[in-house]
Amino acid sequence: MELSGGQIIVESLKSEGVEFVFGYPGGSVLHIYDALSQQDDVKHVLVRHEQGATHAADGYARCTGKPGVVLVTSGPGATNAVTGIATAYTDSIPMVVLTGQVPLKFVGSDAFQECDSVGITRPIVKHNLMVKRVEDLGAALKKAFHIATTGRPGPVVVDIPKNITDPSIKVAFDYPTSVDIRSYRPAIKGHSGQIRKAAELLLAAKRPILYVGGGVVQGNASEELRALAARLGMPVTCTLMGLGAYPGKGEHSIGMLGMHGTYEANMAMHEADVILSAGARFDDRVTGELDKFAPYAKIAHIDVDPSSISKTVKADIPIVGQMQPVLEEMLRILDEIGHKAPDTEQLKPWWEQVARWQALDCLSYTVKDKILPQQVIETLYKVTNGDAIITSDVGQHQMFAAQYYQFNRPRQWLNSGGLGTMGFGLPAAIGAQLAFPDSQVACVTGEASIMMCIQELSTALQYKTPVKVINLNNRYMGMVRQWQEMFYDKRYSMSYVEALPDLVTMAESFGHIGIRVTKPEDLEAAMQKAFVEHKDRLVFMDIEIDQEVNVYPMIANGKGHHEMLLSPKQAEATNAEPRDLA
């Protein structure tokens, strides 16, 4: 088969089973757009800004597990995509980004819309390359999909000079069926001896905990993790990225850990004698002050990326491998040992201690005459039966969503955990809604974050994605304000958003439905209306919330897990002094 470069790209995407390409046309990619227009298998989603394309592809990838695909033009098309590429990279999301480039003979000449896309994206991709011969295009794309989706997933940028896609140049094409890269052989199975050591350590533990990260979600190992938790009967805590890998309302769940984790999860991490980390990377937002982190614990760490192990916290038992086979092997070893059910007797004192921490009810709050953000998330949970796909932006609303929406399954919670990208939520929700047209998809956001990618409301209309935007409007950049209140003596420098638009009429002007809610008693009915009556429409719920609510618990900079700040209500009820366990 003789094909042009543009046709090769389209055929390659088809061979990879790509449903959607998120993109924006421009000079360098016109040949590719022309080839796309002559077929129906790969659908193109036209965004309003390239950042939106990357976040939408990212949202699609996070909720399906399939790679997100992006197509942008050279120069500003590529630079606009950078934030979204970095977002995907930090959270290990599989993505293939095709960037147009000026014709090869102009590369390096400061041509119109030229930039060094490979150079600019180098530190924020798993891999990138420029295609220099049309004959190499198919193999380059195969390699890109392979690298993006295997090992620790991540974005791959393929830079394609315009002459490569020239429709007048046709070459023989067969999409490669396999790829073998001698310098890239990611680990699959973990070392069985190490897995056995970890299992034995866990069985001997008096105060064990399972610390579950996004690697369990990305590694499609939630089922195995649940089986392991049931078998061992130990407390399970999930990171922000791991939420849903173990159900929030699961028998052994003690909630999220870290900076805004639950009292019980952080105290249990602090006092644990054995920690099994599954696909988590001991991020600073999880560990707090490293010198104070888990002082009594031996640590077993499973990760597909060896560089994540012992990076910040030394692992006693490192296990490098894909999550699913490693956890399967651990279950097999437990079978072999004859450990069929939790040793409830051995773990009883530990669970009793956990129950004392849980009794503090660290997420409880006092209802007021104004709407509280916690209430909004709880109402959202109720109205959607806890079953919606939730995306978020970044800030207080993100933490409230993480704390109060009890995620039941992996790939239900999509947020920019690592890079912390404001503007992620709306385009990600559009990507998720396209992947699951019959599911409820809500974007929990704030009035500051939503403005960062607000233009994608227009995309949502074009593709009829009935996302529900849950805007927690407190007229502040809430998290910035919280830090300024706590650490800058309430000098609210630039965190109050003046001159906000009327978000309801704004949504209407984009062709959507806007609903404003100001009273707690109206909240549930309004949300019902949005999700039921306007099921098939995008509804922008602008919810006026109490302006100065803080996210608690909180581990401030330099503090350990046992040194949380609690809400004024709980601070009185507790004695957070660490016990001597050594």
Partner 1 sequence: MRHIISVLVENEFGALSRIAGLFSARGYNIESLNVAPTQDDSMSRMTIVTSGTDDVIEQITKQLNKLIDVIKLTDLTESAHIEREMMLIKVAATGAERRDEVKRLVDIFRGKVMDVTDSAFTIEVTGAASKLDAFSATLGEEGVIEVVRSGPLGIGRGDKALQL
Q: Which residues are catalytic?
A: 50, 112-113, 162, 479
Instruction: Give the separation between CA 332 and CA 325, rounded to whole angstroms.
Output: 10
Residue 184 sits in the site that holds partner 1 (CB under 8 A): yes
Q: Give the count of residues interacting with partner 1 (CB under 8 A).
A: 20
Nearer to partner 1 (CB atom), residue 129 or residue 565? 129
Closest CB 390 distance from partner 1, rounded Å: 31
Closest CB 289 distance from partner 1, rounded Å: 18
Residue 307 sits in the site that holds partner 1 (CB under 8 A): yes
Residue 119 sits in the site that holds partner 1 (CB under 8 A): yes
Residue 311 sits in the site that holds partner 1 (CB under 8 A): yes
Residue 528 sits in the site that holds partner 1 (CB under 8 A): no
Both structure tokens of 517: 């809610």
Residue 223 sits in the site that holds partner 1 (CB under 8 A): no
Nearer to partner 1 (CB atom), residue 140 or residue 254? 140
Residue among 265, 239, 259 at smallest CA distance from 358: 265
Both structure tokens of 244: 């849903």
Among 30, 118, 419, 566, binds partner 1 (CB under 8 A): 118
Question: Using CB under 8 A, which of the segments 115-123, 401-409, 454-462, 506-514 binds partner 1?
Answer: 115-123
Torsion of CA 237, 242, 248, 253, to 10 degrees: -20
Are 297 and 257 within 8 A, CB to CB?
A: no
Nearer to partner 1 (CB atom), residue 182 or residue 340? 182
Are 68 and 88 within 8 A, CB to CB?
A: yes
Instruction: Give the separation between CA 83 and CA 58, rounded to whole angstroms.
Output: 12
Question: Using CB under 8 A, which of the segments 309-317, 392-400, 513-521, 557-565 binds partner 1?
Answer: 309-317
Residue 191 sits in the site that holds partner 1 (CB under 8 A): no
Nearer to partner 1 (CB atom), residue 68 or residue 151? 151
Among 168, 183, 344, 575, binds partner 1 (CB under 8 A): 183
Residue 108 sits in the site that holds partner 1 (CB under 8 A): no
Nearer to partner 1 (CB atom), residue 181 or residue 500? 181
413-414: strand order across its sheet: 413-414, 389-392, 441-446, 468-473, 539-544, 513-517
Residue 491 sits in the site that holds partner 1 (CB under 8 A): no
Instruction: Give the separation between CA 439 and CA 402, rounded to whole angstroms.
Output: 19
Backbone angles phi, psi at 209, to 5 degrees: -150, 145
Give residues 49-78 in contact with partner 1 (rule: CB under 8 A): none
Q: What is the DSSP string of 486-525?
A: HHSTT--TT-B--S---HHHHHHHTTSEEEEE-SHHHHHH
Give residues 140-169 in contact with partner 1 (rule: CB under 8 A): 147
Residue 182 sits in the site that holds partner 1 (CB under 8 A): yes
Closest CB 252 distance from partner 1, rounded Å: 32
Spell out the residues 6+ positions from residue 219 whose beta carbon is closer than 8 angstroms to its own: 279, 304, 322, 323, 324
Instruction: Give the separation between CA 232 and CA 206, rounded to whole angstroms.
Output: 12
Closest CB 501 distance from partner 1, rounded Å: 38
Under DSSP, the state recorded for 207 is S
Nearer to partner 1 (CB atom), residue 118 or residue 333? 118
Under DSSP, the state recorded for 119 is H
Nearer to partner 1 (CB atom), residue 183 or residue 366? 183
Residue 310 sits in the site that holds partner 1 (CB under 8 A): yes
Residue among 247, 213, 217, 207 at smallest CA distance from 230: 247
Nearer to partner 1 (CB atom), residue 92 or residue 266? 92
Residue 458 sits in the site that holds partner 1 (CB under 8 A): no
Instruction: Give the separation between CA 455 and CA 461, rounded to whole angstroms.
Output: 11
Instruction: Give the separation between CA 360 and CA 311, rounded to whole angstroms.
Output: 34
Closest CB 542 distance from partner 1, rounded Å: 40
3-state secondary structure of 67: coil
Residue 338 sits in the site that holds partner 1 (CB under 8 A): no
Residue 123 sits in the site that holds partner 1 (CB under 8 A): yes
Among 1, 181, 500, 573, binds partner 1 (CB under 8 A): 181
Burial class from Cβ neighbours inside 10 Å (0-12, 13-18, 19+) for residue 493 reads: exposed
Residue 419 sits in the site that holds partner 1 (CB under 8 A): no
Residue 129 sits in the site that holds partner 1 (CB under 8 A): yes
Residue 130 sits in the site that holds partner 1 (CB under 8 A): yes
Residues in contact with partner 1 by CB under 8 A are 118-119, 122-123, 126-130, 147, 181-184, 305-307, 310-311, 314
